[in-house]
Amino acid sequence: MKILIINGPNLNLLGTREPEIYGSVSMEDYLSDLKNEFESDDLFYFQSNIEGELINRLQEDNFDAVVINPGAFTHYSYAISDCLKNINKPKIEVHISNIYKREEFRKKSVTAESCDAVISGFGMKGYRLAIQSLR
């Protein structure tokens, strides 16, 4: 299975950004672990701080399923939400922290309704859980 793992703004800083919330493991290191664990799958990773680049990557449509952490775009990107609605493949939204235990504005996800499921609060393990559920 070809799985696109896509991360939004500031997730390139994983491992150094607020480690008390997001942990101390970089996405590159964790992705390496995931690729070893799910070696029968093709895992493709894309990260951007630019909304349009995320949409363009999603519209390339060269994958079987999506694991997306839209980052801050979760809370206000109707453009990403609309893009996800038009992808007729399994889509799982992942959040490293429990967004429902955070600031009020983080508790609303406008992108979640365009996904099949949401995993929130399991740390980096959320990506693993998403991939497992897609198989």
Among all residues, which ones are annotated catalytic?
22, 95
CA 27 vs CA 6, 15, 61, 94, 124: distances in Å = 11, 7, 23, 13, 9
> Which H or E run contains 51?
helix 51-59
- Determine the 3-state secondary structure of 85 from DSSP: helix
Residue 97 annotated as part of some ligand binding site: yes
Residue 75 annotated as part of some ligand binding site: yes
Residue 82 annotated as part of some ligand binding site: yes
Residue 96 annotated as part of some ligand binding site: yes
Residue 92 annotated as part of some ligand binding site: no
107: its two tokens: 């508790």
CA 18 vs CA 21, 28, 122: distances in Å = 6, 17, 16
Please report, as a single letter, which amino acid is at residue 122: F
Q: Binding site membership: which residues?
A: 69, 75, 82, 96-97, 106
Binding residues for substrate: 69, 75, 82, 96-97, 106
